[in-house]
Structure 1
Amino acid sequence: MSDTAQSSPGTPFDLGAYLRRIGFEGEPRADLATLRGVHLAQMRGIPFENLDALGGTAPSLDPADLTAKLLHSRRGGYCYEQNTLLACALEALGLRVTRLAARVALGAERIEDRPRTHMALLVEVPGDPQPYLADVGFGAIGALLEPVPLVAGVEFHDAGRRHRLVHAPQRGPLEMWVLQAYGPQEPEGPGGAEDAGEGPWQAQYAFTLEPFEAPDFEVVNWHIATNPRSPFSRRSYAQRVTPDRHLLLSGRLLTETRADGTVTERELTGEAEARRILDEDFGITAPEGVLLLG
């Protein structure tokens, strides 16, 4: 596999730079082991953050701009950036990727109350009849760490987290899938929910298998980044995942969830501390001029 590969016709993608940025070790191949490996490595290697949107700018989803931001600077991105980058890498590896649009269900009374504003991926591995749900851009503790097979009613353990896919009542011609996570969820996150719900299995988002294209996400990306009612334009969010902890910054609140389930929270004192925490704990150099705490 060459260091520079094609993610789509006419769009060069620097696969070598991507693999170095996420710290992937081993020989990259068009197989399930590589899919799992790069998925987990990107989750741990590139932080989630919404600082462009917080500053009033819709981040570019052009592969060249994503490469400059996510691979060659101390920045991260939110779902459209993270999953577009992963899609480019997987296509460069020779995997088939379908972009999906999902409704965030976390905290919603009804799935239908939420628009399709989240991006996820359906990945097909050569020689494997089973497609996989992949998603490195869901900024919550219920996010996937590794891809899971598109199979309903089976519990999957992905790098220490527990997930399953179930079917929602069908309201149209396409089957509705729901990703659920097991365990406590943060009570407030990018979905804007004040209550994450009750019970150990909690819905994260719902989707159909209808393909969505890059222009669809350009529109949704602009809306989410610039709409004054969007949580991403009103409050800073950052997430960092390591083997032993999940770190979440939501406005002034910094929450650390350890692998043993221990949760600690504290409020940041001001802009200077917020920038220091992002730099030291998240690996993010916050852009100048963006007010992190409002």
Structure 2
Amino acid sequence: MRSTPYPVDLDRYFARIGYAGSRSPDLMTLGRIVARHAASIPFEAIDVLLGRPIELSPAAIDAKLIDRRRGGYCFEQNSMLQRVLCALGYRVEPLMARVLWMRKPDAPPPAWSHMALRVFVEGVGYLADVGFGSCVPTAPLLFDRTTPQPTPHEPFRLSRTFEGYLLEAQLGRDWLPVYEVSPMICGEEAYRTANIVTSTHPQSLFRQNLLVALTTEEARKVLFGNRLTIRNRNGTVTRQDLDAPTIQHALTGVFGLAFQDDWRRIITRIGSGAETTIAIP
């Protein structure tokens, strides 16, 4: 997350996401990489639930997400994508956003705590984000277009606000706010501080709940607490409450994570009903 990001091993990264296409820094390549990343590297913050620090050094991120085939949350996923895109020749600017997804309309404004990217293709800026979890955009989105923009999943739209741009997703007939993103380039120190707060504050979502998400070509798959929700592209939705053994099966079979023994105390607690869950659209 430096102004000149550390390089990444592109061959290892592309093998991780199952991408074998063009490496030209154009819009088609960008879209395919975003879609393959979202379908291959789960959003998860299991280490936060275990009380472990989230290390944002490039070496730590690559070892976790590529070598150990783990997932991560926004600071890990999007900082790695930033380095990948820079290595391919894109101009990339790191941005900060505040999450509005599933917040009550009358709730106070949240903190700026989400990392996103502005990627330029032939001088035109696009929003790229592979680290938002349950409603991650699966295609680059034009910043200066207010009309709905299609993706392989839901349509999204960006509209100007006093402080930046409001990202919304269309679910059925409703447009739901996802986050507000600032157009100002964000520095490394701001990300470091936001990461510490997000991973350690007692009220952080990730300190209180198990959240794992993966968006494949066929469906969005979300595990929140013990509730597994699968929303297919055709609009059908299935929800299932899981016990500890089926949570473990979902982590490995649905999300492709290599199960670790120290996760058992988390899934035992959640699978026993000791944790509450909320419905995710």
Structure 1 counterpart of 2:124, one-letter code: Q
The 1-side partners of 2:28 and 2:204 are apart by 37
For 1:151-201, what per-residue CA distance to the aligned partner results, in whole angstroms no more than 9, with x for missing partners?
241211011320110122x2xxxx5210010015xxxxxxxxxxxxxx611
Q: 1:280 aligns with which of 229, 253, 262?
A: 253
CA contact (8 A) 2:139 2:152 kept: yes
Q: Does 1:235 align with 2:231?
A: no
Q: Confirm or deny: 8 A CA contact 2:5 2:82 kept in the other structure.
A: no
CA contact (8 A) 1:145 1:159 kept: yes
Deviation, 1:245, is 1.4
Deviating above 6 A after TM superposition, structure 1's stretches of 4 or more consecutive aligned residues are: none
Query: Offset at 1:112?
Result: 5.7
- 8 Å contact 1:136–1:144 — kept in the other structure? yes
Report the Cα distance in structure 2 between the residues aligned to 1:100 and 1:136, rounded to whole angstroms: 13
Give the RMSD, CA atoms, in angstroms. 1.8
Higher helix share: 2
Deviation at 1:69, TM superposition (A): 0.8
Query: What percent of counterpart residues are identical?
Result: 32
Measured after TM superposition, the shift of residue 110 of structure 1 is 5.3
SS at match of 1:116: coil
Residue of structure 2 in register with 1:219 after alignment? 193
Deviation at 1:288, TM superposition (A): 2.9
> Which range moves more in the overlay, 108-117 or 143-152?
108-117
Could you report, residue by residue, the CA deviation over 1:56-100 in whole angstroms, capped at 9, with x for unpaired residues?
Answer: 112211111111111112311111111011101001111111111
* One-letter code aligned to 1:130: V
Question: In structure 1, which of residues 119, 140, 143 is the aligned counterpart of residue 136 of structure 2?
Answer: 143
Q: Verify: 1:180 aligned to 2:174, yes or no.
A: no
Aligned residues: 265
Structure 2 counterpart of 1:212, one-letter code: C
The more displaced of 244-253 and 104-113 is: 104-113
Gaps of 5+ in 2: 276-281
Q: Judging changes above 3 Å, is the alpha-carbon distance between structure 1 residues 87 and 108 closer, same or farther for their aligned structure 2 residues?
A: farther
Match of 2:147 among 114, 132, 154: 154
Unpaired segments of 5 or more residues in structure 1?
1-6, 185-198
Q: Given the alignment of the two structures, is residue 262 of structure 1 paired with residue 236 of structure 2, yes or no?
A: yes
Specify which of 199, 207, 211 is matched with residue 181 of structure 2: 207
* Residues 8, 91 of structure 1: 8 Å contact kept: no
What SS does the corresponding residue of 2:97 show, helix, strand or coil?
strand
Q: For residue 146 of structure 1, what is the amino acid of its counterpart? A: A
CA contact (8 A) 2:5 2:83 kept: no
Q: Distance in 1 between matches of 2:72 and 2:111?
A: 21
